[in-house]
Amino acid sequence: MAVIGAVGGLWWRIEAAIKVARDEVKKDARDAHLRADTAMASVSLLTEQLAAHKLHVAETYITKAGLREFRDEVMTGVRDLKGSVSTLHERMDRFIEGDKIERKRS
């Protein structure tokens, strides 16, 4: 009888230890699930913020190709302006000489 009581007591303690371990595992699993849900929410928020930032950058800033095209247009305008300015003194000289000739005739 004592042996049966000892085996029963031992079995009862083993079952209690298993139940405690099972409860700890369930609690750890719930905590891990909660942390995973929090991480997923954070990832979702960061994904939305990244998409908003990409949209802002696309709307606000210029691409390299766009910058090259703009630079080429500006440089073409500067070259044209340089050509106009370089011939400006010749045109002014002709205008002044023409004005002197008209004064002599008068």
Tokens of 57: 């950058």
- 56 with 76, same domain: the answer is no
- 56 with 74, same domain: the answer is no
Alpha-carbon gap, residue 21 to 31, rounded angstroms: 15
| Helix or strand (DSSP H, E) at 76 | helix 64-86
- 67 with 56, same domain: the answer is no
Mean pLDDT of the chain: 89
62-87 per-position pLDDT tens digit: 889 989 999 999 999 999 888 888 88
16-36 per-position pLDDT tens digit: 999 999 999 999 999 999 999
Structural domain of residue 100, as residue ranges? 62-106
DSSP letter at 1 equals -
- 76 with 47, same domain: the answer is no
| Helix or strand (DSSP H, E) at 106 | none
For residue 106, pLDDT over 70 is answered with no
- Structurally, how many domains does the chain consist of? 2
Q: Is residue 102 very low, low, confident or very high in pLDDT (cuts 50, 70, 90)?
A: low
Tokens of 80: 């044209």
